[in-house]
Amino acid sequence: MENQEKSSALYFRDFRLFWFSQLVSLSGTWMQSVAQGWLVYSLTKSPFYLGMVAAASTLPILLFTLIGGIAADRFRKRNLLIATQALSIIPALMLGILTDTGVITVYQVIFFAFFLGTVNAFDMPARQSFLVEMVGKGHLLNAIALNSAAFNGARLIGPVFAGLAIAYMGLPSCFYLNAASFIPVIIALSMINAKGEIRSSQESFLKDLAEGFYFIKSQKDIFYMIILIAVFSLFGIPFISFLPVFAEEIFNAGPTGLGLLVSATGLGALSAALMLTFKSDIKNKLRLMSVSGLFFSLALLLASFSKLFALSLLLLIMAGWGIVSFLATANSFIQLSTTDSLRGRVMSVYSFVFLGFTPIGNFLMGIMSERIGTTNTVAAASLACLAGAAIFAIKHMNDN
């Protein structure tokens, strides 16, 4: 029993402080996400502005994440995270005040979405590369899996709390609660002993950035992973944006059916994260990535053709399991293969591709849906994912 406890990243005091505070903060983040969507639609009654807010929150990932990776390597990661968490309070608090006073406009929401997205562009590379410094390389996969479990657990809990808060305390309460949720994280980070390594550099930002790209290109396994993540982000992950169409036009299930479809994906993601938390390590990570990548792509392809609601729920659970299994394992593989001095920049490329390409995929698939229909678009996108996953799997088998 003691050995099992020690195999968990939660055995480390620093990570315990970090993880439990993150669970609180992520629940607040999901509450704000639901409230913000409700606020925008209430103000405009327009799906266009929902897309504008989503774009404003993700555009900074494309613009600033690579710079955030350089910052993560040049400054102490703990201090950088304390700064990003403190700055994250501002948009939540302002949205709460402006909504409470009745002067909120959709353009203010767009501005604060962009502001928070910019903060996240610096937060994510520091957060990803800080994990290994809290738990060590031997417990990194478990730490990543636990983080994913917290994220997906909060994705199930946060929206429920948001609905209750809106019903009983009013819409602004979600923003106030999210602002307050960052305080435990700041306190926890201030108590953490690990501060993060810093690297003195006389090089320019461009040379630092080029060094990270050169490292990825020189490591063929990492290079192939980044390419496949790009394919999944462009053609696979955006499928969730089109679930309302399936719920309404294919299944005639309405908003209740949509909630079940989204929850099925979240349940699959959470099950994958929990599975990985119970494994202290996976010896053949490339094999698991090959299997889970194919699993995700096949499940998504079959779901695009399914006319049975129950079958679609099962397939979306499988798709959620596949994508999180792939991404969490790829995350740990990349970090374990990267030197400490480069980890922030390499993880910024990971975040750039994983999160930055998804809005581009949404845009491309939206255009295709107008021309050939949503079902055909998701099917074609799934085939692109399946082709990428198959090439990755074949390449891995050839190398072994």
What are 327-354's pLDDT values in tens digits?
A: 989 988 888 888 777 777 888 888 888 8
Pull the structure tokens for residue 65. 């994440």
Q: Taking a C-beta distance cutoff of 8 angstroms, is the pair 269, 320 a contact?
A: yes
The two three-digit tokens of residue 370, written as one number: 């107008």
Cβ neighbours of 260 (radius 10 Å): 19
The topology under which CATH files domain 201-400 is Growth Hormone; Chain: A; (1.20.1250)
Identity at 251, one-letter amino acid code: F
Percent of the chain's residues with pLDDT above 90: 36
Residue 201 pLDDT level (bands cut at 50, 70, 90): low
**pLDDT digit string, tens, across residues 238-292:** 887 777 778 778 888 766 777 688 778 888 988 998 888 877 567 788 888 999 9
Rg of the chain (C-alpha set) = 21
Nearest Cα to Cα of residue 65 among 353, 359, 327, 358: 353
Q: Does the pLDDT of residue 3 top 50, yes or no?
A: no
How are the residues of the chain apportioned to helix, strand and coil, as percentages rounded to the nearest 5? 85, 0, 15
Segments making up each domain of the chain, as ranges: 8-199, 201-400
Question: Residue 255 has what pLDDT?
Answer: 64
Residues 372-398: b if buried by 16+ CB within 10 A, e if exposed: eebbebbbebbeebbebbeebbebbee
Q: What residues have CB less than 8 Å from 150, skipping those under 6 apart?
A: 19, 22, 23, 26
Check residue 377 and report its DSSP letter: H
Domain 8-199 has CATH 1.20.1250.20: yes
Smallest CA-to-CA distance from 330 within 346, 311, 307 is with 346
Looking at per-residue pLDDT, the higher value among 174 and 400 belongs to 174
- Could you say which DSSP state residue 281 is in? -
Is residue 87 over pLDDT 50? yes
195 or 346: which leads in pLDDT: 346
Tens of pLDDT along 120-134?
999 988 888 888 889
Amino acid, single-letter form, for residue 99? T
H helix and E strand count, the chain: 16, 0
* pLDDT for 4: 45
Same fold flag, 8-199 and 201-400: yes
